[in-house]
Amino acid sequence: MRLAKLVLGLRSQGVTDPAVLTAIERTPRDLFTPDLFKDRSWEDSALPIACGQTISQPYIVGLMTQALTLEPRSRVLEIGTGSGYQTSVLSRLSRLVYTVERYRTLLRAAEARFEALQITNVITRFGDGFLGWGEQAPFDRILITAAAPDEPIVLLRQLKPSGVLVAPVGKGPVQELRRYAGDGQGGFSMDVLCEVRFVPLLEGVAREL
């Protein structure tokens, strides 16, 4: 009942792609939510997780996923694995998801969840998201789940000429959710989808967590 209410709410807010809604329906958000917040798993709100990070609001997960215009053969790069919730949604709509996380604790917990859900098309990496994953580039789609301080030039260079990158961009507490679409000739168009609030994208890896 709570899941149905959540999906109806997402649809009313503009997340209308049937494949995206189905992927959200099939991804048990409670598995990605800390025990302290289990009773709020199906609320349309962001929730705290370990290492000072958050599991994104389902509406934002749906909006960003929809903006990627994923195809079944897409190879996707995700920057910021976090709890693995967004990763799992992407995995249901793509051929392969490459995901990079700077917190080893978060990555190990996410990997355990992928195994529990029998998700086999996610490839993980403990590393610096600012650098992307050059060895596996170019990607059809790139999703950044933390706020890039400026236009993500390094990651745009790892995108196919006709690819799509979606990212929150901005240095303040409120950022722009941007969609970059390749024109097939090395250039990009950029649209601002809405204002969002994300934790900042940090350089390097966390040594202690």
Question: For the chain, which residues make up each domain, given as ranges?
Answer: 2-196
Q: Any catalytic annotation for residue 56?
A: yes
* pLDDT 10s digits, 85-104: 999 999 999 999 999 999 99
Based on its alpha-carbon atoms, the radius of gyration of the chain, rounded to whole angstroms, reads 16
Secondary structure (3-state) at 200: strand
What's the confidence (pLDDT) of residue 208?
58
Percent of the chain clearing pLDDT 90 (strictly above): 92
What is the reported pLDDT for 204?
87
Q: What value, to the nearest 5°, has the Cα angle with vertex 98 and ends 107 and 166?
A: 100
Class of the domain covering 2-196: alpha beta
Among candidate residues 41, 56, 74, 91, the one labeled active-site is 56
- For residue 136, what pLDDT is reported? 97
Mean pLDDT rounded to a whole number for the chain: 95
| pLDDT for 207 beyond 80 | no
Per-residue model confidence as pLDDT tens digits over 164-195: 999 999 999 999 999 999 999 888 999 999 99
Please determine, for residue 19, whether its predicted confidence score (pLDDT) is greater than 70: yes
